[in-house]
Amino acid sequence: MSHNSFGHLFRFTTFGESHGPAIGCVVDGCPPGIPLTEADIQGDLDRRKPGQSKFVTQRQEPDKVRILSGVFQDERMPAQVTTGTPIALLIENMDQRSKDYGDIRDKFRPGHADYTYWAKYGLRDYRGGGRQSARETACRVAAGAVARKVLNQLYGQVAIRAAMIQMGTQTIDRTRWDWDEVSRNPFNSPDPGIVNQWADYLEGIRKNGSSIGAIIEVVAEGVPAGLGAPIYGKLDADIASAMMSINAVKGVEIGAGMGAATLTGEENADEMRNGPDGKPQFLSNQAGGVLGGISTGQPVVVRFSVKPTSSILNPRKTIDIAGNETEIFTKGRHDPCVGIRAVPVAEAMMACVLADHALRHRAQNDFPSPLAGEGGAPRA
Ligand SMILES: Cc1cc2nc3c(=O)[nH]c(=O)nc-3n(C[C@H](O)[C@H](O)[C@H](O)COP(=O)(O)O)c2cc1C
């Protein structure tokens, strides 16, 4: 009932609070024999870690991961590999500043989960938001790195990439989309042309003591047709749930998403032809790579919005735990636009959903089809 675990066959459980000694996760269900070292995980954690530019929180966390279990190597093996047993991953908290949060012990911060945690549990660790803090998302990124290894082992290269495509009212020019740009600018933008504009925009918002929301797009390429399940195990439903579980996410769409409401049947249904490799080729991708809850083999395309950071310097009306009306403004170190650091988290959640569905697919469908000789029942 405590809901700190995600996934079915590829399953991870996270633990830890923002200002506790450490955070971490246990990844269970990872198949044996997959090469895995701390370096495989560290790269993704480095992309999420705080303090990397003036546009993110200045908390300084090295976010160094340690693998505590579930891997092994001896002289017969060229590399350290997973053993099929639980993989425990630990990240120490190094830069807590709990005194910043003394003021909010008894006050509920608007937009935060202070009131709801209080209503549910009757007490809360208010230091840095405790368990509600997005510090927990580092654990998801670590689990996601393991998920990527599983996917690549099964299907060759599965590219899971995300980018920030809108900050506040300012949207990228999609004709300038360049994935290589994402790692070159502090906003994870795929559009180099918008970077200076976003810098001025966010700097203005930050100087005014405020914050702003954003939209992230996640694309998974190399996903074979056949992952997912009908009705209650839909791939798109699981992806939407995974993205919605990320802190601050308020809206999720797949493929044409909300825009599908304005399309005609001709515009929306993705027409099919035979591709050069003998596999079906779709002439568009309004479906976002999922039909009937099952992957089509096209890129899986997801977008989500994050709300503006709730911790802002400008005073807001609130109440305290005794029911007194009061005001609050937030000290401490915060992301003025949480969308920036949500990018690697989104990739990780996509990887975990796909790895889970890949293992679930194999568990049910790794049997010969009776129609195998009849044009083949193509299977992932
Ligand atoms: C990567 C990331 C970093 C975040 N950093 C902050 C932050 O510095 N300050 C803040 O108020 N909220 C931050 N948030 C959002 C809060 O964690 C979140 O809004 C809060 O816990 C309430 O949960 P909810 O918005 O999901 O309802 C961040 C979210 C993400 C994904």
Task: Say whether pLDDT at 144 is over 90.
Answer: yes
2: CA distance to ligand 1 center in Å? 20
Find out whether the beta carbon of 206 lies less than 6 Å from any atom of ligand 1.
Answer: no
For ligand 1, atom 8, name the residue with the nearest CA.
334
Task: Tell me if 72 sits within 8 A of 86, measured CB to CB.
Answer: no
Mutate to test the pocket of ligand 1, among 202, 338, 349 (most ligand atoms within 8 A of CB): 338
Task: Tell me if 292 sits within 8 A of 200, measured CB to CB.
Answer: no
Average pLDDT over residues 4-30: 97
Task: Tell me if 184 sits within 8 A of 175, measured CB to CB.
Answer: no
Can you tell me the distance from the alpha carbon of 243 to that of 302, in angstroms, rounded to the nearest whole number?
A: 9
For ligand 1, atom 22, name the residue with the nearest CA.
112
**Token pair listed for 151:** 């996917």
pTM of the model: 0.96
Find out whether the beta carbon of 61 lies less than 6 Å from any atom of ligand 1.
Answer: no
**Token pair listed for 94:** 């190094």
Mutate to test the pocket of ligand 1, among 118, 310, 318 (most ligand atoms within 8 A of CB): 310
Residues 204-262: pLDDT tens digits?
Answer: 999 999 999 999 999 999 999 999 999 999 999 999 999 999 999 999 999 999 999 99
Find out whether the beta carbon of 243 lies less than 6 Å from any atom of ligand 1.
Answer: no
For ligand 1, atom 12, name the residue with the nearest CA.
309
pLDDT of residue 114: 95
pLDDT of residue 1: 52
Give the residue among 294, 65, 28, 31 at the shortest CA–CA distance from 150. 31
DSSP string over 75-144: TT-SS-EE-SS-EEEEEE-----GGGGGGGSSBPPTTSSHHHHHHHHS----GGGGGGSGGGHHHHHHHH
128: CA distance to ligand 1 center in Å? 10
